[in-house]
C-alpha cells in the first residue's frame, strides 16, 4: 500500500513540475463545461472535432452544438460557417477548423456570431528544413521530429506517432493543411522506396487532421537514385522515371500533396545544368504528378556571383517565363529579394507575374533574428509585407491581394519555414511559439492584425487555469496582458534597431547568421557571400545604390514605387540604405545627420530590449515559475547580444564616417578587435 501511495505522489509531483513546460503550446486545458455534440456524418476527422469540443468546451454548460456537413456556396475550400449552435462546412477538415475556431473564441472571450470563415489561401504549408541525420538546417529547437538518423529512419515508435499527432493537432488548430517533411537542400534518398515507407507512416498520422504531406526533391534524382545517365528534364527516360516514381508515391500515399524544388540555386542541381530553363524543369515534374492531383512548388530563390546585384536576379530570371508554367506549378517566392532579412522591401515579383501563381515564403525560424534566443514576434513583419501596395493593378494591389486570388484568379498558397524541433516546448523559446501560431492565423486570414494575433496567443498560452476564467481579472489584463502584448508588438522593430536599421541588410557573421559581422570577407569567397558587398561603406557614406545610377533594381518596382524609392528625398527611411549609398551627412527626418541617427537608433534598440526585461520581471506574479525563468534568462542574453550589435556596428562604421558617437549616448563597452576575435556567445 505504501509503495502505491509513493508512486501516486511521484506521478502527481511529476505532473506539477512539467505542467508548464510549454509542450501544450496554445492548446492548454482550461476549466471544462459539458456540451452535447450532434453530427449525422462519421469520419476520423469529424470524430476528432467532436472530441475536441467535448474535451475543451468553455461555452454555455449543457449547450448543444450541431456539426453539419453539407454543400454551401458561401463556403470555399475548407472554410466553414460558425454560429453559437452549429458548425457548417463542405469538408470534414472544415468541421475540424470550425471546432477550433469556436473553442478559440470561447477561450479568448469573443462573442460568437454567425459568420463565414473562408481561408485566404487554399494551401497553407510549413516547410521543414529537416535532414535525414536528424539535424535541422536553421533549426534552433532540437532535432527533427520526423527523421532520427540514417540508420534508424526505418523504425517508427509509438512515441514518434504520438509526437506527430500532437504536431498535427497544433497545426490543425490554426488552419495549416500541409507540411513539407524535408530540407529544400534535398537528399535524393527521400525518393528511395524504404524512405517513402516512413513518409507513408507519417502521412497516415497527419491525414486525419487535414494535413497532406509534401516532399522536397533533388532534381538530379533520376541519375542518383534511378541510375540514369542524365537528369535532363527533356530526356524521355528521365520523364518516364519521374512518372513511374510519382505513381509509386501515390500508391503509398493517395493524398500526397506534391514536390517542393530548389533547383539551380546555391549549388543545388537543376535544369540549368543541362542547358534547360526553369519552365522545362518545373513543367516536366508538373506533368508527371498532375494525373494524381499533385502540385510542384518551384522556388525562385536564385542568384549567381556574376550578377551586379543579387536582389535583381529572381525577377530577371522568372518574369520572362510568366504564363509559360503549367497550372499545377506554383512559384514560391521569399517575401524579400535577398534572404529573410529583419527588414526588406517586398520582392518585386509579387504582382509583376500576372499569369503565374505565386506563393509567399516566410521564415518562421529566426535565422536572421536571434535564433531561439531573442524574443522577436514576427507577425508585424509579415503584416507589413502582406499589406504593402505593389501598385501593379492600381492603388490597393497589396501583396496579400496579389497572392490570395483577389486580383489574379489562380491557385493560392503560402509557406512558412518551420521553427519546430524536439525541444519540449517545440520552438526553443516560449515566445517563438507565437510565430508558429501567427503564421497559421495569417495564412488563414491575411487581414488579421498583429495586435489581435498577439492578444489571442497570450490569452491561450498564459491564461490562468481557474473555474469559468475567473483568473482573468482587471489586474491580469492591466499588469500582464497589455504590457506583454506591447512588448511582443514592439519586439521586431527593436530587433531591426539594434541589428540593421535604415535598410542595412545582410551584415551578419557569415557562418551562423547570429551576431554582427559587417567586416566579414575572405579571399576567394564570392563577393555576394561577403558583408561589405551589401553595405559598401566608405568615407563618403554607406548603403547599396540600387537607383538608376547604380544597379537600377528600383526599375523592377511599379510606379510610383520606382520613383519614390529612387529619390533619396522620398525614399522611406526604413529602406534608405537598401536603395541608396547615402552620405554620412545626409539630413534625416529628425533633423540629425545619417551618422548620428544611426547611432541613436542602435542605442534605442538596446534600451528597448532592456525595457523588455523590466516588463517581463513585472509579469512574474502571473506566470508559472518554469516559463518565467526560461524567458527571463533568454532576455538577459538578448540584452547582452543587442549591446554587442550596437558596439560592433558603431565602432566598425565609425572607421568610415570618422565622426564621433553622440555624447548623450551610452559609450560602447566592447572593443571592436575583441568582438571580431570572439564569436558572440550563444547559449
Residues designated catalytic: 266, 339, 367
CA dist list (Å): 576 to 500, 517, 586: 12, 20, 11
The backbone torsions φ and ψ at residue 87, rounded to the nearest 5 degrees and listed phi first, read: -125, 120
Q: Pairing between strand 35-38 and 63-69?
A: parallel
User: Taking the alpha carbons of 474, 475, 476, 479 in that order, is the dihedral positive or negative?
Assistant: positive
H-helix segments, 230-378: 236-252, 278-289, 313-318
The backbone torsions φ and ψ at residue 664, rounded to the nearest 5 degrees and listed phi first, read: -90, 5
By the 10 Å C-beta count (0-12 exposed, 13-18 middle, 19+ buried), 91 is classed as middle
CA angle 21, 22, 23 (to 5 degrees): 95
Q: Where are the beta strands (DSSP E) in 308-371?
A: 329-334, 358-363
Q: Using CA atoms, how far apart are residues 274 and 281, in angstroms rounded to an integer?
A: 10
Do 70 and 113 contact (CB within 8 A), yes or no?
no
Q: Using CA atoms, how far apart are residues 416 and 403, in angstroms rounded to an integer?
A: 15
Q: Pairing between strand 115-117 and 80-82?
A: antiparallel
Residue tagged 462573442 (cell numbers): 111
Do 315 and 347 contact (CB within 8 A), yes or no?
yes
Q: At what angle do helices 158-173 and 193-206 cross, to 10 degrees?
A: 50
Q: Using CA atoms, how far apart are residues 394 and 402, in angstroms rounded to an integer?
A: 11
By the 10 Å C-beta count (0-12 exposed, 13-18 middle, 19+ buried), 454 is classed as buried
Q: What are 460's three cell numbers?
A: 491561450
Q: What does the radius of gyration of the chain's CA atoms come to, in whole angstroms?
A: 26
- Expressed in percent and rounded to 5, the helix, strand and coil fractions of the chain are 45, 10, 45
Hey, what long-range contacts does 249-252 have (CB within 8 A, 24 or more apart)?
A: 249/196, 249/215, 250/292, 250/294, 252/196, 252/197, 252/199, 252/200
Cβ neighbours around 308 below 10 Å, total:
11
Amino acid at each position: 500500500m505504501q509503495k502505491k501511495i509513493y508512486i501516486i505522489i511521484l506521478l502527481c509531483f511529476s505532473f506539477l513540475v512539467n505542467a508548464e513546460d510549454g509542450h501544450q503550446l496554445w492548446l492548454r486545458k482550461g476549466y471544462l463545461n459539458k456540451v452535447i455534440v450532434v453530427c449525422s456524418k462519421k469520419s476520423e476527422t469529424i470524430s476528432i472535432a467532436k472530441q475536441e469540443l467535448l474535451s475543451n468546451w468553455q461555452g454555455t454548460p449543457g449547450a448543444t452544438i450541431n456539426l453539419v456537413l453539407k454543400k454551401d456556396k458561401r463556403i470555399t475550400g475548407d472554410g466553414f460557417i460558425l454560429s453559437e449552435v452549429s458548425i457548417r462546412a463542405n469538408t470534414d477538415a472544415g468541421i475540424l477548423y470550425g471546432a477550433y475556431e469556436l473553442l478559440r473564441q470561447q477561450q479568448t472571450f469573443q462573442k460568437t456570431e454567425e459568420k463565414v470563415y473562408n481561408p485566404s489561401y487554399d494551401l497553407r504549408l510549413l516547410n521543414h528544413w529537416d535532414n535525414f541525420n536528424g539535424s535541422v538546417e536553421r533549426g534552433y529547437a532540437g532535432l527533427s521530429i520526423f527523421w532520427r538518423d540514417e540508420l534508424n529512419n526505418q523504425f517508427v515508435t509509438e512515441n514518434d506517432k504520438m509526437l506527430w499527432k500532437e504536431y498535427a493537432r497544433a497545426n490543425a488548430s490554426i488552419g495549416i493543411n500541409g507540411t513539407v517533411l524535408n530540407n529544400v537542400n534535398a537528399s535524393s534518398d527521400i525518393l528511395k522506396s524504404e524512405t517513402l515507407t516512413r513518409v507513408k507512416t507519417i502521412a497516415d498520422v497527419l491525414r486525419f487532421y487535414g494535413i497532406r504531406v509534401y516532399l522536397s526533391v533533388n532534381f538530379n534524382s533520376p541519375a542518383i537514385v534511378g541510375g540514369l545517365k542524365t537528369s535532363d528534364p527533356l530526356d524521355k527516360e528521365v520523364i518516364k522515371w519521374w512518372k513511374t516514381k510519382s505513381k509509386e508515391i501515390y500508391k503509398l500515399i493517395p493524398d500526397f500533396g506534391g514536390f517542393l524544388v530548389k533547383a539551380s540555386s546555391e549549388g543545388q542541381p537543376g535544369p540549368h545544368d543541362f542547358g534547360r530553363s526553369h519552365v522545362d524543369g518545373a513543367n516536366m515534374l508538373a506533368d508527371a504528378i498532375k494525373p494524381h492531383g499533385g502540385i510542384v512548388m518551384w522556388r525562385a530563390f536564385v542568384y549567381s556571383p556574376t550578377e551586379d546585384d543579387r536582389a535583381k536576379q529572381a525577377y530577371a530570371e522568372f518574369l520572362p517565363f510568366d504564363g509559360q508554367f503549367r497550372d499545377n506549378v506554383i512559384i514560391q517566392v521569399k517575401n524579400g529579394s535577398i534572404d529573410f532579412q529583419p527588414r526588406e522591401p517586398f520582392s518585386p515579383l509579387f504582382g509583376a507575374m500576372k499569369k503565374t501563381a505565386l506563393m509567399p515564403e516566410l521564415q518562421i525560424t529566426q535565422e536572421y533574428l536571434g535564433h531561439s534566443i531573442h524574443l522577436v514576434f514576427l507577425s508585424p513583419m509579415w503584416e507589413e509585407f502582406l499589406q504593402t501596395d505593389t501598385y501593379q493593378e492600381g492603388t490597393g494591389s497589396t501583396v496579400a491581394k496579389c497572392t490570395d486570388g483577389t486580383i489574379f484568379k489562380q491557385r493560392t498558397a503560402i509557406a512558412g519555414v518551420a521553427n519546430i524541433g524536439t525541444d519540449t516546448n517545440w520552438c526553443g523559446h516560449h515566445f517563438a511559439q507565437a510565430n508558429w501560431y501567427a503564421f497559421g492565423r495569417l495564412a488563414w486570414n491575411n487581414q488579421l492584425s498583429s495586435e489581435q494575433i498577439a492578444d489571442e496567443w497570450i490569452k491561450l498560452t498564459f491564461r490562468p487555469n481557474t473555474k469559468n476564467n475567473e483568473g482573468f481579472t482587471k489586474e491580469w489584463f492591466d499588469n500582464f496582458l497589455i504590457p506583454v502584448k506591447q512588448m511582443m508588438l514592439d519586439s521586431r522593430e527593436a530587433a531591426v534597431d539594434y541589428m540593421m536599421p535604415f535598410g542595412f541588410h545582410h551584415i551578419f557573421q557569415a557562418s551562423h547568421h547570429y551576431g554582427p559581422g559587417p567586416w566579414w570577407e575572405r579571399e576567394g569567397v564570392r563577393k555576394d557571400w561577403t558583408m561589405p558587398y551589401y553595405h559598401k561603406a566608405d568615407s563618403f557614406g554607406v548603403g547599396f545604390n540600387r537607383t538608376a545610377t547604380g544597379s537600377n533594381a528600383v526599375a523592377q518596382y511599379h510606379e510610383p514605387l520606382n520613383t519614390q524609392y529612387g529619390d533619396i528625398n522620398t525614399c522611406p527611411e526604413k529602406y534608405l540604405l537598401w536603395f541608396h549609398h547615402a552620405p554620412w551627412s545626409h539630413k534625416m527626418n529628425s533633423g540629425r545627420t545619417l551618422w548620428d541617427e544611426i547611432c541613436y537608433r542602435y542605442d534605442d534598440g538596446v534600451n528597448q530590449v532592456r525595457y523588455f526585461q523590466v516588463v517581463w520581471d513585472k509579469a512574474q506574479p502571473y506566470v508559472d515559475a518554469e516559463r518565467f525563468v526560461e524567458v527571463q534568462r533568454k532576455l538577459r542574453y538578448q540584452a547582452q547580444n543587442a549591446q554587442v550589435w550596437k558596439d560592433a556596428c558603431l565602432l566598425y562604421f565609425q572607421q568610415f564616417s570618422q565622426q564621433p558617437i553622440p555624447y548623450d549616448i551610452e559609450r560602447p563597452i566592447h572593443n571592436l578587435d575583441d568582438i571580431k576575435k570572439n564569436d558572440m556567445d550563444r547559449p
